[in-house]
Amino acid sequence: MNVSVCTISFRHMLLSFADIAQYVHEQQFQAIELWGVHARSLSQGGAAVIEHCLSLLKLYHIEVSMISDYIDVSPQADRNASILKCDELIALAHQFGTNKIRTFAGKAASQSVNSHEREMIVNHLQIIGDRCAAAGIMLLIETHPYTLADHTESTLQLMKEVRHDAVKVNLDFLHLWEAGDDPLASYVQLQNWVENFHLKNITSLENCKVFDSNNVYAPSGSRSGIVPLSDGQVDYTSILRAIHKSGKNASLEWFGDDPLRYLAQDRQWIQHIV
């Protein structure tokens, strides 16, 4: 199992790609999961910047595991705009040498979406999936609150409805636990579609609200309850022992303070566990 650092962890820090690549190498990670904002900024620097990034990846024997961004597939979405966004992310994935992009399945909780709205989202994902497949890219749907993949049953149903070889799952264990599901049982049910894992932990269910986008992207937002993998309510000892031979990539997301310290600490703990 490869282990990645999510660059969204550094969203409030001034770090260059060279700084991140060196850190990833020194802490014995195998890859970098590039947040779309960061990938787009690097790409806008031109061919020389991209060439420099690729040379650093080669130097440190690491790779970009995935581009993580957001394609709007909600019923209200402008489909032409979504297709353009998808094409942009495909181009970024090709530039950085990865075959995976991450998105969400809409913007509303599965229980609040009617059958017609759900059908529209499914159809939209199939259209985006076709574009990804034609480009040799996998589209990963993250298990996440306020989407059609907000719990295991709905995610499983979604994969069966979309029925697309290029549309897979980015399994975030904490968010399925947050939904009341057993993370390991969820993995067993979804493993035929899972292509990436997101790992993070929390001290209590009540603190999960810190991961709401309005809070987590705010530099002054609350970080209450965010803890290393070993210390929270989600049992990552059992999870890691179940997934470490999967051959898939696991990405560490750290939304708290001092990410360089805590990501390194989590990496060492993972090494110890597996």
Catalytic residue positions, numbered: 144
Which 3 state secondary structure label does DSSP give 107?
coil
**How many CB atoms lie under 10 A from the CB of residue 48?**
8
Q: Which two tokens stand for residue 257?
A: 């303070």
**How many CB atoms lie under 10 A from the CB of residue 131?**
17
Angle CA(65)–CA(150)–CA(66) in degrees, nearest 5?
A: 10
- Measured in degrees and rounded to the nearest 5, phi and psi for residue 217 equal -85, -10
214 Cβ contact partners less than 8 Å away, ≥ 6 residues apart: 221
Run of H or E residues at 174: helix 173-178
CA distance 83 to 264: 37
Angle CA(187)–CA(73)–CA(34) in degrees, nearest 5?
A: 65
Relative to beta strand 201-202, strand 226-227 is: antiparallel
